[in-house]
Amino acid sequence: MRKRKDKYWLVDSDKFDAALVKAGVKNKHDLAEKAKLDYSILTHIYSRPLTPRSMTKICLVLNVSADDLFKPATTAKK
């Protein structure tokens, strides 16, 4: 049986956009390169949940706390 993976939703798109600007990230392509993630993960960031690994990489690049931008899929709403 597969182990259930926790997923995380982006809670506030305005905070995410502000964190991008504050970190000096030009766009999602730049964020994908810096976080070493596939760009397709970031194109669907508003409509699909993220894995803990992807969420952590994004938060490290943006220099923000995960609690500021993301909530577990069980408690967050789309």
Confidence at 6, pLDDT banded by 50, 70, 90? confident
Give the model confidence (pLDDT) of 7-52 as tens digits.
999 999 999 999 999 999 999 999 999 999 999 999 999 999 999 9
User: Rounded mean pLDDT of 64-69?
Assistant: 93
Give the domain ranges of the chain. 8-72
pTM score of the predicted model:
0.85
Structurally, at CATH architecture level, domain 8-72 sits in Orthogonal Bundle (1.10)
Per-residue H/E/C for 14-74: HHHHHHHHHHCCCCHHHHHHHHCCCHHHHHCCCCCCECHHHHHHHHHHHCCCHHHHEEECC
